[in-house]
DNA sequence: ACCGTTCTCCGAACAGTGTTCGAACTTCGA
DNA sequence: TCGAAGTTCGAACACTGTTCGGAGAACGGT
């Protein structure tokens, strides 16, 4: 509608918010969450600490912005790998997403830890908030890729509507990827002894060969919990 | 040797160190790493903040103690499950360790995040330090239990000496467990929709059925990377 | 039992933090 | 043009981790 009627104040505000987030993001990458400080950000953008409160209500608010921003970046990296591998073998397409997930984590370990583990004292992500929708954007390419490997199209995209068995299979797959990446970027993979990328690709391809649901045999197993 | 010649100062020091760690541990459990403060601990044990420096060189030092302490607690919980299930079916024994690992994480999520993810600004665990040996104590019961399920005894206990294929299989197993537990305690498992314990036990039993090395069939597959 | 060394504890201080308040100043929409 | 809204700032408050110097107590050796 009135997209053209953006006052110079509105534009300046938008740019300043972006710069603040960028500065905070850099401080985060350099020294972790403990390194991003309100006064430090204000110093770097060249204004009084009190003025920052015009744009963010508190330090927790700034971190919330960093979290959603990082979720979007991760989702973008995985989504890009998914798009770029269109037409490839379904398994290779999923593996492309796997590599993209790991590559982003290796490149931005602080951001990765920030979005996946609770690090702030009293912080709790608001349900239906922007962080959860950004998080789901990360899962989406994986759901689509796995759906392709099983010839089920995008029938897995609506995770909440799936039967428990499918949910478990998908979460097991993603949990393996996430766990190994987590261990690697936090230096728990015997650095110098284990090759992270080789390990992750190896286990994910292995898991893909056995994760498919049983077609017809052994239907006597317990259907669910 | 001179174990009996413990001066009252030595005893008092030992007890005070234990109390300091206990207080800090409680503050950690209540509000995460950002909630444990030097002055807060001093306040709670009833002495001047400067006096604390008699027992710990810095806040990072205190956190190092918390990390090793938490590693020992986790290793103790898993080891206890391993010991208590002596004589049971090997698979059940491993599942007992799995449940113990998850149960401890659910009971102490802040400590779990503290030991597995880098959260302190400039902190780096000293190699050959007490934290890494405490960490290996966590892996040990799992290595022994998996060795049992494969009828290989404790031949997997010396992880670094294993061929790459075995290392990958073991890390894949532990990575799945660790990743799913991590997702659960950080509220990424669609709380109220997915049962964490059921999911983890389900995926670990599934993985155990397919993780064994190929005996004789399909030996034409690529042996290693 | 003494004495010198060592350890323990404390008050004060320094630099840094997140946040609030009130007052100036600028920009906006009508 | 005028009132309202938005922006910036300095000062202040209550914190934080850490250092320093001194006072007092407990220790080991003679």
Answer for the pair A113, A119: CB distance below 8 angstroms, yes or no: yes
pLDDT of A44-77, one tens digit each?
999 999 999 999 999 999 999 999 999 999 999 9
Distances from the Cα of B31 to the Cα of A61, B15, B23, angstroms: 18, 25, 13
- pLDDT value at residue B169: 96
Helix H segments across A108-211? 109-116, 130-149, 164-185, 196-210
Q: What is the mean pLDDT of chain B?
A: 89
- pLDDT value at residue A149: 92
Widest CA span of chain B, in angstroms? 69
Task: Find the residue in A nearest to B114 (Cα).
Answer: A119
Widest CA span of chain A, in angstroms? 69
A219 pLDDT more than 50: no
Which residue ranges form the domains of chain A, and what is each CATH number?
1-56 (1.10.10), 59-210 (1.10.357.10)
Q: Which of B32, B125, B179 sits opposite A121 (nearest CB)?
A: B32
A119 pLDDT more than 90: no
Average pLDDT over residues B116-127: 72
Answer for the pair A96, A78: CB distance below 8 angstroms, yes or no: no
Long-range CB contacts for residues B43-49, cutoff 8 Å, separation at least 24 = B45/B16, B45/B19, B45/B20
Measured in angstroms, the CA of A180 and the nearest CA of chain B are apart by: 5
Measured in angstroms, the CA of B180 and the nearest CA of chain A are apart by: 5
Find the helix or strand (DSSP H, E) in which B82 lies.
helix B59-84
Q: Does A171 sit within 8 Å of B176, measured CB to CB?
A: no
Give, as ranges, the nucleotides of chain D with any atom within 7 Å of a protein CB: 6-12, 15-21, 26-28
3 state SS of B35? helix
Helix H segments across chain A? 8-31, 38-45, 59-84, 90-107, 109-116, 130-149, 164-185, 196-210
Q: Measure CA to C1' and name the residue nearest D25.
A: B9
Q: What tokens were used for B86?
A: 């002596």
What proportion of chain B, given as a percentage, has pLDDT over 70? 87
B224 pLDDT more than 60: no
Lowest mean pLDDT among A105-109, A121-125, B64-68, B182-186: A121-125
Q: Which nucleotide is nearest to B39 (CA to C1')?
A: D16
Helices and strands, number each (H, E), in chain A: 8, 0
In this prediction, residue B125 has a pLDDT band, given cuts at 50, 70 and 90, of low
Lowest mean pLDDT among A127-141, B12-26, B42-56, B119-133: B119-133
pLDDT of A152-204, one tens digit each?
888 888 999 999 999 999 999 999 999 999 999 999 998 789 999 999 999 99
Decide: CB of B160 under 7 A of nucleic strand D. Answer: no
pLDDT of A3-17, one tens digit each?
447 777 889 999 999
A42 pLDDT more than 60: yes
Say how far B44 CA is from C11 C1', in Å: 19
Decide: CB of B9 under 7 A of nucleic strand C. Answer: yes
Pairwise pLDDT comparison (A116 vs A209), residue with the higher score:
A116
Average pLDDT over residues B86-100: 96
Tokens 């204000």 appear where?
Answer: A42
Q: Does B175 sit within 8 Å of A207, measured CB to CB?
A: no
pLDDT of A76-93, one tens digit each?
999 999 999 999 999 999
Angle between helices A164-185 and B164-185 (to 10 degrees): 110
Measured in angstroms, the CA of A88 and the nearest CA of chain B are apart by: 22
Tokens 């509608």 appear where?
Answer: A1
Q: Quick one: how far is CA B207 from the chain centroid?
A: 21
- pLDDT value at residue B210: 78
Within 8 A of B194 by CB-CB distance, chain A residues are: 167, 171
Say how far A38 CA is from C20 C1', in Å: 15
pLDDT of B23-35, one tens digit each?
999 999 999 999 9
Highest mean predicted confidence (pLDDT) among A7-16, A17-26, B129-138: A17-26
Q: Which of B113, B176, B189 sits opposite A118 (nearest CB)?
A: B113
Say how far A72 CA is from D9 C1', in Å: 35
Decide: CB of A45 under 7 A of nucleic strand D. Answer: no
**Distance in angstroms (rounded) separating the CA atoms of residues B222 and A204:** 16
Average pLDDT over residues B149-158: 86
A114 pLDDT more than 80: yes
Q: What tokens were used for A59?
A: 């330090």
Answer for the pair A157, A147: CB distance below 8 angstroms, yes or no: yes
Q: Does A188 sit within 8 Å of B135, measured CB to CB?
A: yes
Within 8 A of B167 by CB-CB distance, chain A residues are: 193-194, 199
Average pLDDT over residues A198-220: 74
Within 8 A of A190 by CB-CB distance, chain B residues are: 159-160
Q: Measure CA to C1' and name the residue nearest C10.
A: B48
Answer for the pair B125, A195: CB distance below 8 angstroms, yes or no: no
Decide: CB of A190 under 7 A of nucleic strand C. Answer: no
Answer for the pair B139, B159: CB distance below 8 angstroms, yes or no: yes
Lowest mean pLDDT among A1-5, A43-47, B91-95: A1-5
In this prediction, residue A123 has a pLDDT band, given cuts at 50, 70 and 90, of low
Give, as ranges, the nucleotides of chain C with any atom within 7 Å of a protein CB: 7-13, 16-22, 27-29
Exposed / middle / buried, residue A60 (Cβ in 10 Å: 0-12, 13-18, 19+): middle
> Chain A interface, mutation test: which of B133, B169, B188, most A Cβ atoms within 10 Å?
B188
């Amino acid at each position: 509608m009135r997209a053209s009627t953006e006052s110079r104040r509105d534009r300046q505000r938008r740019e300043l918010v972006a710069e603040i987030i960028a500065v905070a993001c850099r401080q985060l990458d350099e020294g972790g969450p403990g390194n991003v400080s309100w006064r430090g950000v204000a110093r770097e953008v060249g204004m009084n600490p009190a003025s920052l409160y015009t744009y963010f209500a508190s330090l927790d608010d700034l971190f919330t912005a960093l979290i959603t921003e990082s979720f979007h970046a991760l989702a973008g990296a995985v989504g890009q790998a998914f798009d770029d591998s269109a037409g490839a073998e379904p398994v290779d397409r999923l593996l492309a997403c796997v590599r993209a997930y790991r590559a982003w984590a290796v490149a931005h370990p602080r951001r990765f830890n920030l979005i996946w583990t609770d690090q702030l004292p009293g912080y709790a992500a608001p349900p239906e908030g922007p962080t959860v929708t950004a998080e789901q954007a990360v899962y989406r390419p994986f759901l689509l890729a796995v759906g392709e490997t099983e010839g089920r199209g995008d029938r897995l995209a609506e995770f909440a509507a799936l039967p428990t068995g499918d949910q478990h299979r998908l979460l097991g797959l993603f949990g393996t990827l996430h766990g190994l990446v987590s261990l690697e970027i936090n230096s728990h993979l015997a650095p110098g002894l284990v090759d992270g990328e080789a390990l992750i690709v190896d286990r994910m391809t292995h898991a893909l060969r056995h994760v498919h649901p049983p077609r017809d045999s052994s239907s006597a197993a317990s259907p669910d919990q």
